Structures are given as structure tokens and as C-alpha cells.
Structure 1
Amino acid sequence: MRILVTGRNGQVGYELERSLQGLGEVIAIDSEEMDLADFDAIRAFMREVKPTLVVNPAAYTAVDLAEREPELAMRINGEAPGVIAEEARKLGAAVIHYSTDYVFDGNKAGAYSEDDVAMPLNVYGRTKLAGEQAVQASGAPHMILRTSWVYGSRGRNFLRTVKRLAEDRDELRIVNDQYGAPTWCRTIADTTAHIVAMLGAGQHGAGIDHDLWQSKSGLYHLTAQGQTSWHGFAQTIVAHWSTERKPAVIPIATKDYPTPARRPANSVLSCQKLMETFCQLPRWDSALGLCLE
């Protein structure tokens, strides 16, 4: 397979470029090579490269800034995935696209399943939901993988922010009434690679097995297992802190830390469908321990 990976400099894209090695020819690109805001550029690049599989983690991810830039966020998150998927369909290729827990309003008492109605609270969530719908409408064999609370050892994320603040503060005030599953970007990439390996290439080694990909096409939740609050996440990070000096982690309410974009109180996603179809997923605290090591 020829596997096109977008957003190679992002958290998930960086790991995907490595996890997908050995499953095909991996062509990893960033926005300088294919600008998701430029639909003509997307079409031209895909027609030149002719991928067998497109793995698209690239996105507009500035949740609060999106409230001030809704048009740009919609173009990149909502419309560009549809352009990618339409070109993939014309090429006979499949698409793996990533979405978010923020498509839900967070009012459900338990974990969200793929069948629950999406009701985003913010611009970012609305644009990501539009991207899901555009991929689904394209007719291309596809998988939409919703994840949550993504972190890693590089890039901008909660883990690195807590580690940076912990270096010079005596206390950290962290929200304790929002719940989800912190998910290591490497878990996302390795699980994606496992799925691709299971579905494999075509019968003669060229292209994809369309019947198999179509039979597995759809929406899946992909997060680490278990759940915690942002406060619990921060406590676990600080507990692993290698120095003797450890800041106190103080729980606060969402109302005490106002942000331009509203966040769902419950971001817990049920991953039963993915685990029954493909593979198991690790607990969030186990994966975090590996990442910190």
C-alpha cells in the first residue's frame, strides 16, 4: 500500500509516520506540502501521489481560538476531510479520519457510544462533526476514529503544560468536574497500525480489499480505557515527577477557570465496538506511565 499521512508534525501524525512503517510506503506530509485550507492543492497533491490509504490526523485544533475563527476552522476540519475522501473514492483508496469527544455536549450520565446523538457545545466540536459527516457522505471506504484528551511527549498538550508549570509553581489549580480518558498519541497510532494490518492490502498486493474495508467502514471510538478528571490526570503526572519537589494539585470547578469555548463535562467514550472488532486498548494510567518513562 501507499499510505498518505497528513499532519506529520502533529502529535498523532508524528507517531503514525513511525507506527505505519512496514505496512506500506508511508508518505508523511505537513501543511507546507498540502494545505488543508486549499482544496485545489488537496486535489492536485492526491492525484499526483495516488495513495492507497489516506490517514488524516491533521486538523485545526485550537479549541478556544476557533471561537474567533469559525470559518477557517470549518474549512480545515469540516470541509477539507470531505475533499480528501472524495479524491480517495475516485482513486479507489480508503480513508482513516480522526475526530473528537467534543462532538458531544457532555450531559450523558454514562459513556458515549457511536450511536449517541452528537450535540457539540463549541465551534471546534461543530467543525469536527461536519468533517465526520463529509467523510461519511463521500462514498469512500472509511473509518472515523473519535478520540479524547490526546497527549504526548512533544507538541502542545496537557501533559507538557503540567510538567512545565510544575517546575516553578508550588500549586496547580486544575479543573475537577470534567471527566474523560487521557489518550497517548502513540496508543492512537499503534492501534491505527493494528487496524490497517488486520484489513491488509488487496488479494494481489495492489490497492485495498474494498469488500473488507467497506464491511468495516464506519464510526469507532478510540480512547484509553478507564476515566479520570483533569485534576486526576494532573495528580498522576505530578506523582510520577522525578524531583523531590512536587507542587500541590488543587481541585477547582469549571466555573473557576472560564474559557472562550465551553467544554463537555463528560467526555468518556465507550470503545466496545472497536475492541470487539479489532483489538484491546490500554488503561489510561498504564499508557501514561509508559509515556512518562
Structure 2
Amino acid sequence: MRELVRFASLAPSSHNTQCWKFRVNERSIVIAPDLSRRCPAVDPDDHHLHVSLGCAVENLTHAALAAGLQAEVRKDLASPDDIAVNLEATKPSITPLFRAITERQCTRGDYDGKPISNDDLRRLERAGTGNGVRVMLLTERLAMENVLAYVIEANSAQMADAAFVAELKSWIRFSASEAQRSGDGLFSGTTGSPVLPRWLASPLMGLFFTPESENERYARQLRNSAGLAVFVSEANDRVHWIEAGRCYERFALQATTLGIRNAFVNQPVEVSALRPQFAAALGLGSQRPDLVVRFGRGPVMPLSMRRPVDAILG
């Protein structure tokens, strides 16, 4: 059961906060939000937090099946924010998606700009579709440029928000030793940024981490991506946010099996004033755009750290 928890915790989370707690019972595992790891500046309604719980649930279902356990996912009636995963014995099945769990990463580097085959795009679309959640794959350059305009506008707004910048900075781990000690956060090495001690890197961040430099980086990286995936929920509630997380994680695991990298460019869905405009530009009506993800082929980056299992059991 501890090993199942470990696989579940390899899921992504905003700023790699690992905003979850796990309770292990005899025949079930309960996944609960760890509200002490909220990101109120970037995620004031806890949307991304619940998406992250969904990602962990998806990992858990594949790991359970590999261990000979069939997972049944339901809301915990005793605590509405929690997710109960009941486990029943079944024939073990080690799937490609399970094998991809330890290799999946949000690859924040440059991609090669080459197109993805239609067969692979169909696999990604199937993986990213769920119950009340669908994924839109945008591969035409004009459509991608239209999204880029929203990314830049939203990123500029975030960079002008002192609370957002302070929150982000608090989760950056500037050196390998700092990342290893904390077991969480955004290690500079995963983005190709210089790896320096905090006393040196923290003041330098203000010199190099500017709206202009970040917008230039996002423009370059979006333009060398093969496409964009926008995950869309039929309803704007926690059930659908969790489902969006499951759909994204399947998409990411499927992409990993195909040698396709991915990374979030979520700014247009994080800035609440821009999100309705972004949804309208995509023709979504009242549906909520949950996540924006660029994808393509490129080199592997260093993996993010994870906290030990004992730290996330509660």
C-alpha cells in the first residue's frame, strides 16, 4: 500500500507543492487535499489543487492494477473534499501507462518543432478524454498563435502581481541541495535555469526574471511545440476538476510512452479576468477551460523531487 502511495505521489502539482495527504486503510486509500500547501495567489479557488488530486488518483489506479488490485474511485462521503479509492483483488496487469509513471515529467525546455503523426494525436486525444471532460488539440499555427497572445497577456498580468511573484519564488529551489532537503518545489535545473545557492540566486532572480524575458521564452517554446492541448470541463465544479486531472495525467502518460514531452502554459486559465475571454475565443460557451498544455518532442530534463511517503501519510 505504501508503494501505491509512492506511485500516486509522482503526479504533477502546481509549483510541485504535492498538495495531498494519503490515508491507508485495509482495502482502500483515501486521497485528501493538504490545504497547508495551497497556492492562493495563482490558484485562489483551489482548482489546480483538485486537478492535482485527480492526477494522483489516475496514477494510483494504474499502479493498483499492476499490483493485482482493481481501483474503484468515489467521493468520500465522510469528507466531501476527499477521494476514496477502494481496492479489490483482480488479475495483475502491467500496462504501458503504468510503466510511464516514473518517467513522466513536465518538460519545460525547448522542443524540436516537428509535427506529431495523426495516429499519435488520436492516441493523445483518446487518453485525454473522460467523463464530462474533453481535450482540444490545436496544431495549426494560427490557432497556436491566438493562444500565445493570451499566454503573453496573462503572463504579463501575473508578473505584475507581487503576491504571485512572491508565491512562485517561495516554491523555487535554486540548488540541488535545497531541492533534496525539501523534496518539493520547482528545482531550477528542471527548467534549464542556473543552479546556484539561494543567497545568490534569489537577488539575481529580480534582474533576469522579467515580463519581457518570460514572454520571449514562452513565445519561443510555444512556437517550437508541435501543438497545444486544452482540457475543457462541461461544468465548473470540483468533480470535473478532479476528472480533468485524471484526463491530463492519462494524456501525459500516453505522451511519455510515445516519446512526446509536455508542459503547462496555464496562464490564460489562471488569470480570472482573462479566462472568460479565452473560453470565448475557443468557442467554449459556458464550459471551463481547465488546463493549457504544449507538447512536442525534445530532450528529457531533470526530474522534480518528491517527499518521502511518511511525509504524505496522514
Higher helix share: 2
TM-score, with structure 1 as normaliser:
0.31
TM-score, with structure 2 as normaliser:
0.29
Higher relative contact order (CA 8 A, sep 6+): 2
